[in-house]
Amino acid sequence: MTIDALPPALIMILGGLLVPLFKGRARQVWLLALPIISFANLLLIPQGSHWVYPFLSDHLVFGRVDKLSLIFGYIFHLVAFLSALYALHVDDTVQNVAGTVYAGAAIGAVFAGDMFTLFVFWEALTISATFLILARRTEKALGAGFRYFMVHVAGGLCLLAGIILHVSQTGSAAFDLIGLSGAASWLIFIGIGVNCAWPILHPWLTDAYPEATITGTIFLSAFTTKTAVYALARAFPGTEELIIIGATMAAFPIFYAVIENDLRRVLAYSLINQVGFMVVGIGIGTALSMNGAIAHAFNDILFKGLLFMTMGAVMYRTGKINATDLGGLYKSMPLTCAFCIVGAASISAFPLFSGFVSKSMVMEAAAHGDMRWVWFILLFASAGVFHHAGIKIPFFAFYSHDSGIRCKEAPLHMILAMGISAALCILIGCFPQYLYKLLPYAVDYHPYTASHVLAQTQLLFFSALAFTLLLLAGIYPPEIRSINVDADWIYRKGGALIYRFCQWAFDGINDWANRIFAQRFPQLLAHFFEEPGGNFQKYGYRLWVEASGINRNQEKVDRNIDRRSRNAAYPVGGGVLLAVMLLALVSVVLYLR
Amino acid sequence: MSENPIKMDEELGMFDKPRNVKRLLFTFYTCVALLLVVDLFYHKHAIFAWESYFGFYSVYGFVACVILVILAKYVLRPIVMRKEDYYDD
């Protein structure tokens, strides 16, 4: 170890755990300084594998630094800083610690060179993220946080099973190209897929992100899914299954987003939609598509974070987030509104905004591979994302009908965080070469051709035209106070069903056992042992009567037995005889042994 | 293009003055029409053949969004929509 730097994740994680030592202003400075110091530390690390320690039969690698991990490292530091700035007003130790550790875990995961290190940071992500959800401290957040944790623990175990199987089969724990072949790789694939929010595995995202704290959601939107995108890019580039998965991800959430009322949930659906583009890019696996996927992950972290920030600011000032409760806020929060429109333009891939320079790389790679259906679906998703995230979010929050809400503009630190994000979105959109330089493969891609600009502008303007006409014609679905069931129905209702079944089955057994063993049986025994000698004779006599058929006056016999038993008027010889017989029996048994 | 900031400035008055809404819509329709007209004179470099058909992107964008909304409203919503307390046992 000749370099004077610390492992990439160390500063954020240790620094995060030390947060409780600071109070007030000092804590704010500390939270802002951590990402900056950690970033400076990262710049000191040369490319290569560092902090390699022997572990079992292999090695733990805490610092595999190459172009792929670096670009994720850069954007993670950037967004960690922006999120910390946005959350500067939050004086809640749980959130302060969880947010910082969460960012550190994501950084640790992308620089992990082996699967065990990856797994540890992967689980650290889950735990810290859960606290960001629970920290909202509402009943809904508790439920969502619990479900989030359970789903990710299941996914993590799947990943761990795959890792152990993979290591035992190949003898290597190095986290590199795996490719789909055999059970081990499938387990790893699906384990990553849970964090990547693949269809059917996705509802943890749309369930939990909108229930997290205002600032927690900003952190959440950046790290978990993008770490999974990184893991896919590292281990499964060119896996064809990813094309189908990604295309599904890009398409289906937009239908949900159109009818969703909670605006942060709309953004959660569009997050899945954007990750879909990245997954398709990784699935295609050419240099252009991989670059596109990674560049889009970089941009998405910024513009999705920006959109969540603007909705968070609205929520912070108004306490409301449902489209039915909002509207007309452009007067009260003009800056937030402007930033929201920048974010909307970026996610919609308007020319001069960041989405334009990355999304099209994936589209073009699909076209070069002659994947026409994938191309059509992605084009549909591009139009759709403009529809729900590009227009719906700003329109229903800031325009639409005037909700009558008059509030203050977002606080200064939020404005700053949103402003920097918005500026970066425009900067990358106008000067994509700076982003392209960071990409892992050599790029010869020019987004600003007249054809591309014209095509994209036409697509978006006619999408907007459809929105306008449908809205004016009254066909656009009105916002309704409601929830929409998704795949989480399976475990939310299914879980309740299992719970009820268990309640019925086990409580039934319990009840029965209670009746028989705790009540009836002792009762009978107690009754019997009130007069053990008398009862013994009575029941014995009855048995003898049944067996022999000789019937004497039963009542009289019973009376006699009772009388003798109460008065203890037995001849002494009877007791002695019984004792001798017992001893004899015991002797015989012992002898036979 | 940088339509968005400009659009926002115009919309600042839109709730108070219906005239502004009309102006905005008129500007928007004009842009849409112009974009379609441009297609007549400019031949796009296309990878797929259909990309160079007249108005392909315009029609696709419009139709895609109409289908999206119709399906979401009339197919998906009746299937998945529940009351807000659906999961509260």
User: Any idea what the Cα angle at residue A530 is, between residues A529 and A531, rounded to 5°?
Assistant: 85
Interface residue A451 vs chain B (CB under 8 A): yes
- Sites in chain A below the pLDDT cut of 70: 1-3, 569-571
Q: What does the pLDDT read at residue B39? A: 83
CA separation for the pair A95, A300 (Å, rounded): 23
pLDDT of residue B9: 47
Contact B61 A345 (CB under 8 A): no
Q: What is the pLDDT of residue A558?
A: 82
Predicted confidence at residue A276, as pLDDT, reads 96
- The answer, yes or no, to whether residue B77 has pLDDT greater than 50, is yes
Of residues B8 and A176, the one with the higher pLDDT is A176
pLDDT of residue A575: 75
Residue A22 token pair: 């600071």
How many Å lie between the alpha carbon of A393 and the closest alpha carbon of chain B?
14
**Per-residue pLDDT, B1:** 37
Q: Residue B10: is its pLDDT beyond 70?
A: no
Asked whether the beta carbons of residue B68 and residue A345 sit closer than 8 angstroms, the reply is no
Query: How far apart are the C-alpha atoms of A585 and A577, rounded to whole Å?
Result: 12
pLDDT of amino acid B16? 62
Q: Which residue of A has its CA nearest to B13?
A: A331
Cβ of B82 within 8 Å of Cβ of A482? The answer is yes
Whether B60 has its CB under 8 Å from any CB of chain A: the answer is yes
Cα(A98)–Cα(A108) distance, rounded to whole angstroms?
15
Round to whole Å and give the CA distance between A67 and A495. Answer: 43
Q: What angle do CA A126, A128, A129 make, to 5 degrees?
A: 65
Considering only the beta carbons, identify the residue of B7, B64, B82 that sits closest to A483.
B82
Q: Which residue has the higher pLDDT, B88 or A280?
A: A280
pLDDT grade, residue B5 (50/70/90)?
Answer: very low
CB contact under 8 A, B32 and A465: yes
For residues A567 and B89, the model is more confident at A567
CB contact under 8 A, A470 and B81: no
Q: How far is B84 from chain A (nearest CA, A)?
A: 5
| Separation in Å, CA of B19 to nearest CA in chain A | 16
pLDDT range class, residue B51, cuts 50, 70, 90? confident
- From the number of C-beta atoms within 10 Å of its C-beta (0-12, 13-18, 19+), residue A261 rates as buried
pLDDT classification of B89: cutoffs 50, 70, 90: low
C-beta atoms of B45 and A351 within 8 A: no
Question: Does the pLDDT of residue B15 top 80, yes or no?
Answer: no
Sign of the CA dihedral running A195, A198, A202, A206: positive
User: With an 8 Å Cβ cutoff, is A496 touching chain B?
Assistant: yes
* Beta carbons of A259 and B81 less than 8 Å apart: yes
- Evaluate whether A83 touches A215 at the Cβ level (below 8 Å): yes
Which residues 20-59 of chain B have a CB within 8 Å of chain A? Answer: 25, 28-29, 31-32, 35-36, 38-39, 42, 44-48, 51, 55, 57-59
Indicate left, alpha or beta for A380 from its phi (over 0: left) and psi (-120 to 50: alpha): alpha
In the predicted model, is pLDDT for residue B4 greater than 70? no
What is residue A494's predicted lDDT score, i.e. its pLDDT? 86
